[in-house]
Amino acid sequence: GAGVSQTPSNKVTEKGKYVELRCDPISGHTALYWYRQSLGQGPEFLIYFQGTGAADDSGLPNDRFFAVRPEGSVSTLKIQRTERGDSAVYLCASRSGQGREQFFGPGTRLTVL
């Protein structure tokens, strides 16, 4: 079956603009995660959804970052008033309800000019 997909694959924006990044998890996966990978570093956890609710948003760096998953499937990561430091690859992963493995999408590369 299809894996995790993320759109767009690349996003270039200007400082101060608003962006939305989308994640389509594997069908039937109830858990969804967002991570951020800065250049030369490992991914860092941002937020975790179980179903429609954010079970853990402790990794969101500040209140400019917000994520939703209104129907328990697709999720959108929203970044307001983007800053150059937000430039990174944003990775999404999903996991089945009983599983322990997270399956990652290809990521969205965000560049803030």
Partner 1 sequence: AQSVTQPDIHITVSEGASLELRCNYSYGATPYLFWYVQSPGQGLQLLLKYFSGDTLVQGIKGFEAEFKRSQSSFNLRKPSVHWSDAAEYFCAVGAGAAGNKLTFGGGTRVLVKP
Query: Where does this chain bind partner 1 (CB under 8 A)?
Result: 4, 31, 33, 35, 40-45, 48, 55-56, 59, 91, 93, 95, 98-107
* DSSP secondary structure code for residue 37 in this structure: E
Q: Evaluate whether 73 touches 103 at the Cβ level (below 8 Å).
A: no
Taking the complex as a whole, the smallest distance from the CB of residue 56 to partner 1 amounts, in Å, to 6
What is the phi/psi pair of residue 72, to 5°? 75, 15
Identity of the residue, 20 or 44, whose beta carbon is nearer to partner 1 in the bound complex = 44
**To the nearest whole angstrom, how small is the minimum distance from the Cβ of residue 81 to partner 1?**
26
Amino acid at the residue 63: D
Q: Which is nearer to partner 1, 7 or 80 (CB)?
A: 7
Question: Of the two residues 42 and 53, which places its CB atom closer to partner 1 in the complex?
Answer: 42
Question: Exposed, middle or buried by CB within 10 Å (0-12, 13-18, 19+), for 74?
Answer: middle
